[in-house]
Chain A
């Protein structure tokens, strides 16, 4: 396919989202025998679990008069009843009972979307169901691998999902947004390297022989009690299209070989992020912080979740302010800097997906 690149094609301020892809709709523990309503990619979904434990995502609008099924009732097996006139559907979205007549109208169906439970999340496919291949779910294996422990939360952000991706692909903002926890001047000063292929982008940054910022000093001391020396710090940002970013982060005692591959004298975490577009101007930001040391400590899990939560609150405030300023200044364009290289590759990969679907890159 030939792609015509224009400057504006990689600087859309409000990017559309691909549909032929998997998005996280919920944490696995949110999907229960109590219905929830959640909008993914502008499609309202009614999400629940069947009696035998299978997750289901139906369009949250009854075939009859569009009443929200999420306000309905779960019946036996896999069935759900519309709250308005009582039509019952099964998990395939097919009507199994129309209370007011003896037959079932052959077109009485609501869309039932392919779902897969993986990496502690419920993934949903809203595009062409014939293309839905679970093998293309992004790798987030640290979420439930025995070598890793941790937890996370969901942030409802009122900005276009792409702004969150931009934020995570360029961590020089940490010095300014997260000055009290993980930010430090060396982030902006050190060099970084960007690579990409058809579906992934990687941005790597190493900072050698620096002071550990407060967050990392605490983590080092959780493993190496009382540690106070210099560290080598790394951030390796792995993007997997269209909206998952896992960041390999950590510090190790300076000069103990971490850059060469021996991380035994350090602490390593993975910041797992997957961003689900909700509307053109809002997203569900699912994240978790996973670590591979002190796996037994629930205290550390809770402390890390609280700490990262505080850091991400700072991002959320900035992203909301940025989206508001974008909308208040429709005549101004973005300007791209060298530090935006990772984010721009991300945009280009997403635009390819949009082109393949025959969809426009810009959302309204």
Chain B
């Protein structure tokens, strides 16, 4: 956002770590040059994966007023390239390079009512917003959905703080969230802020469009790392450059192309800006669109893809029986 998102890098010391749910670690940092963290803000930081420095982002869950203590919470990602595993290994006294809080997901004060929707680890981006709305006495509903109770970070604290304003949906307790009901019952003047898996957010966006609700009132942040399908290994070909490369499950198409020496253009690396667009010439299998840059129409046309997040998969349904014969999936592309 205009001028407010300049990365100011600094050292931070780990003050405290604690497990707050299955596979979720809370990490409290003391940055050297504190700055107040607004609701919706995150930190960028460097993790070390196989000796290489990699940038990752983590939402600020809570912080002191002056920003001298900032808490984040990290899910150990199931198919991690290693960033979240590195974060889980941190101990009090360790130091990290982190930015001051960055803001891509600002909360607007003064909406008539709010719905906050958190799916799984996406709760990290929502917790602070909910606290601010509660303090302001705003009219808000906090919807927190996850697969099981043990995986829900901060659930007891959130229940205590938000009481009846918090609606909890848990798949394996039979109380799974119905997106149709949620969006169907929303007040047309309400603003909805959401963060969660791309499947959930796609469903909400679709329902939002179907109900012809006001699009600017649907606010979301993508963590840029979830898809409709589990990542599989696939092949990429660029006939014009004579390139053929394997894209392992733990690497993005963009990274694989970079590894193969193709000079790529990109910016956000999380499926928002569209700068990493490649043209799809042929496809064996299907595309797992993980971006929010293309419209549904464009995604269905499958003529282009955002290679920083989207992948090729063998099967459009995720079922073995529907898999393209003779996997792996192969995507033939051209680049700019």
Binding site for B on A (CB under 8 A): 59, 61-63, 66, 90, 92-96, 101-107, 109-112, 114, 128-130, 132, 358
A167 to chain B, nearest CB (A): 33
Per DSSP, are chain B's interface residues mostly helix, strand or loop, or mixed?
loop
A75 to chain B, nearest CB (A): 14
CA distance A104 to B220 in the complex (A): 11
Interchain CB contact under 8 A, B216 and A95: yes
Interchain CB contact under 8 A, B109 and A109: no
Is B104 an interface residue when CB atoms closer than 8 A count as contact? yes
**Which residues of the partner chain A approach B293 to less than 8 Å between Cβ atoms?**
101, 103, 105
Interchain Cβ contacts under 8 Å between A and B, 21 examples: A61-B2, A61-B3, A66-B3, A96-B215, A102-B295, A102-B297, A103-B295, A104-B216, A105-B272, A105-B273, A105-B293, A106-B105, A106-B272, A107-B1, A107-B105, A109-B1, A110-B2, A111-B2, A128-B36, A129-B110, A358-B66
Is B298 an interface residue when CB atoms closer than 8 A count as contact? yes
Q: Which residue of B lies closest to A125 (CB)?
A: B109
- 1/0 per residue, CB under 8 A from A, across B211-226: the answer is 0000110011110000
* Cβ 8 A contact of A92, one of B108, B274, B295: B108
- 1/0 per residue, CB under 8 A from A, across B1-31: the answer is 1111000000000000000000000000000
A205 to chain B, nearest CB (A): 41
**Which residues of the partner chain B approach A95 to less than 8 Å between Cβ atoms?**
216
Q: A102-B295, A130-B109 are in contact. Are A107 and B216 (CB under 8 A)?
A: no
Interchain CB contact under 8 A, B273 and A66: no
Is B136 an interface residue when CB atoms closer than 8 A count as contact? yes
**Which residues of the partner chain A approach B297 to less than 8 Å between Cβ atoms?**
102
B248 to chain A, nearest CB (A): 29
Interchain CB contact under 8 A, B221 and A106: yes
Is B282 an interface residue when CB atoms closer than 8 A count as contact? no
Can you add 12 more A-B contacts, CB < 8 Å, to A107-B105, A129-B110, A130-B136?
A61-B3, A90-B216, A96-B215, A102-B295, A103-B293, A104-B216, A105-B293, A106-B222, A109-B1, A111-B1, A114-B109, A128-B36
CA distance A106 to B268 in the complex (A): 12
**Which residues of the partner chain A approach B219 to less than 8 Å between Cβ atoms?**
106
B24 to chain A, nearest CB (A): 24
* Cβ 8 A contact of A110, one of B1, B109, B221: B1
Q: Which residue of B lies closest to A66 (CB)?
A: B2
Interchain CB contact under 8 A, B2 and A103: no
Number of A-B contacts (CB under 8 A): 68
**Which residues of the partner chain A approach B298 to less than 8 Å between Cβ atoms?**
102
B190 to chain A, nearest CB (A): 13
Interchain CB contact under 8 A, A111 and B221: no
Q: Which residue of A lies closest to B273 (CB)?
A: A105
Interchain CB contact under 8 A, A130 and B215: no
Chain B: interface residue total (CB-CB under 8 A) = 31
CA distance A62 to B3 in the complex (A): 10
What 5 A-B pairs have minimum CB-CB distances, sorted nearest first? A102-B295, A94-B216, A107-B104, A129-B109, A61-B2
**Which residues of the partner chain B approach A107 to less than 8 Å between Cβ atoms?**
1, 104-105, 272
Is B292 an interface residue when CB atoms closer than 8 A count as contact? yes
Q: Which residue of B lies closest to A93 (CB)?
A: B108
Is B132 an interface residue when CB atoms closer than 8 A count as contact? yes
CA distance A130 to B294 in the complex (A): 34
Q: Which residue of B lies closest to A92 (CB)?
A: B108
**Which residues of the partner chain B approach A109 to less than 8 Å between Cβ atoms?**
1, 106
**Which residues of the partner chain A approach B185 to less than 8 Å between Cβ atoms?**
none
Is B336 an interface residue when CB atoms closer than 8 A count as contact? no
Q: Which residue of B lies closest to A109 (CB)?
A: B1
**Which residues of the partner chain A approach B135 to less than 8 Å between Cβ atoms?**
130
**Which residues of the partner chain B approach A93 to less than 8 Å between Cβ atoms?**
108
**Which residues of the partner chain A approach B295 to less than 8 Å between Cβ atoms?**
102-103
Q: Which of B86-132 contact A (CB under 8 A)?
A: 104-106, 108-110, 132
Interchain CB contact under 8 A, B221 and A104: no
CA distance A103 to B36 in the complex (A): 32
Interchain CB contact under 8 A, A92 and B216: yes
Interchain CB contact under 8 A, A130 and B110: no
**Which residues of the partner chain B approach A110 to less than 8 Å between Cβ atoms?**
1-2
**Which residues of the partner chain A approach B222 to less than 8 Å between Cβ atoms?**
106
CA distance A107 to B221 in the complex (A): 8
CA distance A80 to B110 in the complex (A): 20
Interchain CB contact under 8 A, B216 and A114: no
Interchain CB contact under 8 A, A114 and B110: yes
CA distance A128 to B4 in the complex (A): 14
**Which residues of the partner chain A approach B220 to less than 8 Å between Cβ atoms?**
106
**Which residues of the partner chain A approach B36 to less than 8 Å between Cβ atoms?**
128, 358
A18 to chain B, nearest CB (A): 15
**Which residues of the partner chain B approach A130 to less than 8 Å between Cβ atoms?**
109, 132, 135-136
**Which residues of the partner chain A approach B66 to less than 8 Å between Cβ atoms?**
358
B127 to chain A, nearest CB (A): 15
**Which residues of the partner chain B approach A92 to less than 8 Å between Cβ atoms?**
108, 216
CA distance A128 to B103 in the complex (A): 14
CA distance A247 to B166 in the complex (A): 51
Interchain CB contact under 8 A, A101 and B216: no
CA distance A128 to B2 in the complex (A): 17
CA distance A141 to B136 in the complex (A): 27
Interchain CB contact under 8 A, B216 and A63: no
Q: Which of B58-109 contact A (CB under 8 A)?
A: 66, 104-106, 108-109
CA distance A90 to B218 in the complex (A): 13
**Which residues of the partner chain A approach B109 to less than 8 Å between Cβ atoms?**
114, 129-130, 132
CA distance A101 to B274 in the complex (A): 9
**Which residues of the partner chain A approach B274 to less than 8 Å between Cβ atoms?**
101
**Which residues of the partner chain B approach A94 to less than 8 Å between Cβ atoms?**
216
Interchain CB contact under 8 A, B292 and A106: yes
Residue among A101, A107, A114 with max Cβ neighbours from chain B (10 Å): A107
CA distance A110 to B3 in the complex (A): 10
Q: A59-B2, A112-B108, A129-B109 are in contact. Are A96 and B292 (CB under 8 A)?
A: no
